[in-house]
Chain A
Amino acid sequence: MKCFIGIDLGSTTTKAVVMDEQGRQLGCGITNSRSNYDTASAVAKQEAFIDTRLTLFRRSLDDVKGLEGMVDVLLEGLERNFRLEQFLEQLQDLQDTCLKNGDDLRFAKVRKQLGGAIDETFRQLRDKVLVLYAPGGERKSDFFRDLAGSQYMQLAEAVAEEAGVPFDAMLNVYDKSIIEVENRPPAGDMIGKFPRALHRVMTEEAHSFKADEHTVAAPIKAALDIKLEETYVVGTGYGRVRLPFPKEHIRSEILCHGLGAHLMYPNTRTVLDIGGQDTKGIQVDDKGIVVNFQMNDRCAAGCGRYLGYIADEMNLGLHELGPLAMKSTKNVRINSTCTVFAGAELRDRLSLGEKREDIMAGLHRAIILRSMSILSRSGGVENEFTFTGGVAKNEAAVKELRKLIAENYGERTININPNSIYTGALGGAEFARRAVMEAA
């Protein structure tokens, strides 16, 4: 089938969306951005294709006898185990790479013990991972880098001590290896992994599917056999010197974002995107075409990165900031969202006796005030208003935004989509589709 792909290379994450020729989204994928843009694009695209396959599986499994009411469970387990297969594959690569780098002259003295320690660490890691990917397992992140890294750090210290190997050596080897592994183009084989994953899920104790593996395997294979043709790809993202696409295949991130928001909410006229390092205010018409925009990309104050620093300073997870701010009972005015001074401002306020939740609320208001500036410059807030980007998931930020918009612009419908992080890639995919389908 014809597939149209949009790839959005952001500062923190790279996203991809796969769309069919009717403009329906088939799948989306995300990965952490990395120094090799080609790889980041390839990984995101692959993730989106995996998601696409799952969509196709769903279509074909809907009719299978014996799976009534269990399709979701099966697909969840299938995906989970597929991820496990992926992880294990990459983990093996990482282990091999670590062993190779452990052979470095620097570690000559402890080479043998180091090799043993690495093997032991990975053995334990594999066991842990099987638990994390078991039904009901909770993973803090789905990115290989995050998951492998956090587990490795936890396990390696103890293993190193036992083996009489300096922990530093374990760290060095890991740091060097993870970059290598990450920047290798992904091994795309789905044909092997999905059936293996299917086998795992069918044999998991937690479920009892009325259909047997053989019955299910057939429609899965049929869905896997559908050829997904990469008809046209459009890339977008920050205007770095070179995006890994030819010029005709690039659309500005403003345009992609505007169109993507329009596809999600056709009545959108104003879009606000607070990204990792920049904030965009975009006005679109009834066809999703951008009519005006303003960006603040000189300074990351009030962007996602800023919240990241605050979270670090307060020893909290990013997702905990919003809930804390919601507990505020007092107005604390924070006048600067300068990331450089975030820590100092925080400590200053705390020492003055302000409560954490009040300071958090003040900070959230300050962030939104900055966004209001951009919106103001881009042409105001028209109905409907769509809020995208990671910060859109933060309830305290959304609360301040609603307040400020109501105060300054009046009644507005505010749209927030949990998948808003894919807005740019979605717009890109649509541009790709239009480039081909409207040429005829």
Chain B
Amino acid sequence: MSNQAQTEIIKEASMVMQKELIASNYDALTSAPTTGRKVVNTFVPGNLNELIRCFDLLNNLPEINAINNGMRKKSGGMIMDAEKAGHSEDVCTYVKSDIGMMSQGNIAPNGKPMPRPDVLLLSYTGCYTFMKWFELLRHEYKCPTLMLQVPYQGDGKITRSMVDYVVKQLKEVVIPGLEEVSGVKFDIDRLREMMKLSAQAEDNLVWVLESSKNKPSPIDAYFGAVYYMGPIFTAFRGTQQAVEYYNVLRKEIEERLAKGQGPITPEGEQTDQRYRLVVEGPPNWTSFREFWKLFYDEGAVVVASTYSKVGGLYDQGFRHNADNPLESLAEYCLGCYTNNNMPQRVDLIEKYMNEYEADGFLTNSIKSCNSFAAGELMMMREIEKRTGKPGAFIETDLVDPRYFSHANVKNRLESYFQMIEQRRGGSKPVAAA
């Protein structure tokens, strides 16, 4: 048994690569004061990583910092500090975690202090809170802020007007602003080259995400996908390293698929996949492993999730297109999951339910994230109506540990799975003693 565990660990080269990539970015960020590299803060939805790299800037994502702090169980204290400083209990816990992190010395996972941002790239995509978050950071850092408004797909489509608006802002606000901060002149060919690499990585990412259409599924498309998304949603889209990572990842998953193996979880390989689920909403980070285990224990594997599209929706055909780089960047931003309207989100989930042959639909509703949460009850009913499959609704939070109640979640999950089991034709009978 332990031999197998060892070989599992060795095989997961992609896991190691992914960790190293994320760590290397933190190292680059924390050594910025010494190396003289300039730092830009931006958001995961609408992350213009290729563009940022054109200016040799380092990419810092406060959402990822909050996730890190959450998984390391530090965010709770940070949030309370922020609340003591006057921030409301009701607002986004990523924001409060960030503010608390700042007040505690802004220490990165590598133990060193994060640098002050040289510019805030406020990609206002898919989430209102982003606007105020960076206003709060600007209030604190008094640094230049470049606001890129990405219109919402109110009618469920990307219009010419929207693309033109975003491109114009890129040309007249973002690019000049980044040039000024970095001292580097914009070279569109550099951007093109990186976008070609982005597209390559995206192809492999999509292959990986779609591998869960198989039975058994070789991946978990929610908890497991969090790791797969790391490079493409953060500072590595457009890099050769990301291309390599997704090559390696794809090969690993191809192998698992060929061997009929299930996803690797912290508890070991998941062989029991009696429930295939589509999941809506971000995961809880402070009890991430516990949360995953509740699914694992029940034999529930997630075959598709919407959260894995938060930083870019690639499985419906979009690829970064080097032929029209600025337009393509605009389309990328406009297409991020939370920038889609409710009918689009419902349609996408319905599609997933059918294409991935799911047994049920589960929503993890996040208390402090209205962008995802507002309307999820209706979405669930709509999906139940359209697919006939039952919906589960659990309520937790992103990084505030006070809002993750293990008992509460377990109760609802158990009830849900038992309900599905009953509807399949009764629970496993037991012979009399």
Instruction: Indicate which residue in B391, B422, B432 contacts A289 across the interface (CB closer than 8 Å).
Output: B422
Q: Are B408 and A298 in contact (CB under 8 A)?
A: yes
Given A253-B415, A255-B415; A240-B407 close (CB under 8 Å): yes
Candidate in B415, B429, B433 with the most chain A CB atoms within 10 angstroms: B415
- Asked if A231 lies at the interface with its beta carbon under 8 angstroms from chain B, I say yes
- Asked if A239 lies at the interface with its beta carbon under 8 angstroms from chain B, I say yes
Given A231-B433, A248-B430, A291-B390; A239-B422 close (CB under 8 Å): no
User: How many angstroms from the CA of A231 to the CA of B431 in the assembled complex?
Assistant: 10
Given A255-B415, A289-B423, A290-B415; A439-B407 close (CB under 8 Å): no
Residue-by-residue, is A226-259 near B (CB-CB < 8 Å gives 1, otherwise 0)? 0000011000001111000000101111110000
12 A-B pairs with C-beta separation under 8 A: A2-B432, A248-B430, A252-B414, A255-B415, A290-B415, A292-B391, A295-B411, A297-B408, A297-B411, A438-B429, A439-B430, A440-B432
Residues of chain B within 8 A (CB-CB) of A434 are: 426, 429
Q: How far is the CB of B366 from chain A (nearest CB, A)?
A: 14
Residues of chain B within 8 A (CB-CB) of A252 are: 411, 414-415, 418-419
Q: Are B432 and A436 in contact (CB under 8 A)?
A: yes
Residue-by-residue, is B392-433 near A (CB-CB < 8 Å gives 1, otherwise 0)? 010100000000011110111011001100110011111111
Residue-by-residue, is B339-382 near A (CB-CB < 8 Å gives 1, otherwise 0)? 00000000000000000000000000000000000000100010
Q: How far is the CB of A11 from chain B (nearest CB, A)?
A: 11
Q: Are A290 and B422 in contact (CB under 8 A)?
A: yes
Q: A-B contact count, CB below 8 Å?
A: 75
Q: Which residue of B lies closest to A290 (CB)?
A: B419
- Asked if A415 lies at the interface with its beta carbon under 8 angstroms from chain B, I say no
Q: Are B393 and A294 in contact (CB under 8 A)?
A: yes
Q: How far is the CB of A305 from chain B (nearest CB, A)?
A: 17
Instruction: Indicate which residue in A292, A377, A439 contacts B390 across the interface (CB closer than 8 Å).
Output: A292
Q: Which residue of B lies closest to A249 (CB)?
A: B430
Given A239-B408, A295-B412, A297-B411; A289-B427 close (CB under 8 Å): no
Residue-by-residue, is A398-440 near B (CB-CB < 8 Å gives 1, otherwise 0)? 0000000000000000000000000000000001001110111
Q: Are A439 and B423 in contact (CB under 8 A)?
A: no
- Asked if A57 lies at the interface with its beta carbon under 8 angstroms from chain B, I say no
User: How many angstroms from the CA of A250 to the CA of B359 in the assembled complex?
Assistant: 22
User: How many angstroms from the CA of A289 to the CA of B415 in the assembled complex?
Assistant: 11
User: How many angstroms from the CA of A200 to the CA of B278 in the assembled complex?
Assistant: 65
Q: Assign chain B's interface to a size class.
A: 20 to 34
A residues sitting closer than 8 Å to B (CB atoms) are 2, 231-232, 238-241, 248, 250-255, 289-295, 297-298, 377, 379, 431, 434-436, 438-440
Q: How far is the CB of A85 from chain B (nearest CB, A)?
A: 32
Residues of chain B within 8 A (CB-CB) of A255 are: 415, 418-419, 422
Q: Are B410 and A239 in contact (CB under 8 A)?
A: yes
Candidate in A253, A254, A438 with the most chain B CB atoms within 10 angstroms: A254
Q: Which of B15-54 contact A (CB under 8 A)?
A: none
User: How many angstroms from the CA of A379 to the CA of B393 in the assembled complex?
Assistant: 13
Q: How far is the CB of B422 from chain A (nearest CB, A)?
A: 5
Instruction: Indicate which residue in B384, B415, B422, B431 contacts A293 across the interface (CB closer than 8 Å).
Output: B415
B residues sitting closer than 8 Å to A (CB atoms) are 377, 381, 384, 390-391, 393, 395, 405-408, 410-412, 414-415, 418-419, 422-423, 426-433
Q: Which residue of B lies closest to A439 (CB)?
A: B429
Candidate in B377, B390, B422, B431 with the most chain A CB atoms within 10 angstroms: B422
Q: How far is the CB of A3 from chain B (nearest CB, A)?
A: 12
Q: Are B419 and A438 in contact (CB under 8 A)?
A: no
Residues of chain A within 8 A (CB-CB) of B390 are: 291-292
Q: Are B431 and A439 in contact (CB under 8 A)?
A: yes
Q: How far is the CB of B392 from chain A (nearest CB, A)?
A: 9
User: How many angstroms from the CA of A373 to the CA of B384 in the assembled complex?
Assistant: 19
Residues of chain A within 8 A (CB-CB) of B393 are: 294
Residues of chain A within 8 A (CB-CB) of B410 are: 239
Q: Are A293 and B419 in contact (CB under 8 A)?
A: yes
Q: How far is the CB of A247 from chain B (nearest CB, A)?
A: 9
User: How many angstroms from the CA of A238 to the CA of B409 in the assembled complex?
Assistant: 11
Q: Which residue of B lies closest to A295 (CB)?
A: B412
Residues of chain A within 8 A (CB-CB) of B411 are: 238-239, 252-253, 295, 297
Residues of chain A within 8 A (CB-CB) of B418 are: 251-252, 254-255
Q: Which residue of B lies closest to A285 (CB)?
A: B423
Instruction: Indicate which residue in B407, B422, B433 contacts A238 across the interface (CB closer than 8 Å).
Output: B407
Residues of chain A within 8 A (CB-CB) of B422 are: 255, 289-290
Q: Are A231 and B419 in contact (CB under 8 A)?
A: no
Q: Are A239 and B419 in contact (CB under 8 A)?
A: no
Q: Are A232 and B426 in contact (CB under 8 A)?
A: no
Q: How far is the CB of B242 from chain A (nearest CB, A)?
A: 40
Q: Which residue of A lies closest to B393 (CB)?
A: A294
User: How many angstroms from the CA of A124 to the CA of B178 in the assembled complex?
Assistant: 88
Residues of chain A within 8 A (CB-CB) of B430 are: 232, 248, 435-436, 439
Q: How far is the CB of A201 from chain B (nearest CB, A)?
A: 37
User: How many angstroms from the CA of A294 to the CA of B412 in the assembled complex?
Assistant: 9
Q: Which residue of B lies closest to A21 (CB)?
A: B432
Given A239-B408, A295-B412; A231-B432 close (CB under 8 Å): yes
Residues of chain B within 8 A (CB-CB) of A239 are: 407-408, 410-411, 414
User: How many angstroms from the CA of A298 to the CA of B393 in the assembled complex?
Assistant: 13
User: How many angstroms from the CA of A431 to the CA of B411 in the assembled complex?
Assistant: 18
Q: How far is the CB of B373 from chain A (nearest CB, A)?
A: 14
Q: Which residue of B lies closest to A296 (CB)?
A: B395
Residues of chain A within 8 A (CB-CB) of B395 are: 298
Residues of chain B within 8 A (CB-CB) of A440 are: 432
User: How many angstroms from the CA of A219 to the CA of B282 in the assembled complex?
Assistant: 65
User: How many angstroms from the CA of A294 to the CA of B395 in the assembled complex?
Assistant: 11
User: How many angstroms from the CA of A248 to the CA of B431 in the assembled complex?
Assistant: 12
Q: Which residue of A lies closest to B425 (CB)?
A: A289
Q: How far is the CB of A148 from chain B (nearest CB, A)?
A: 31
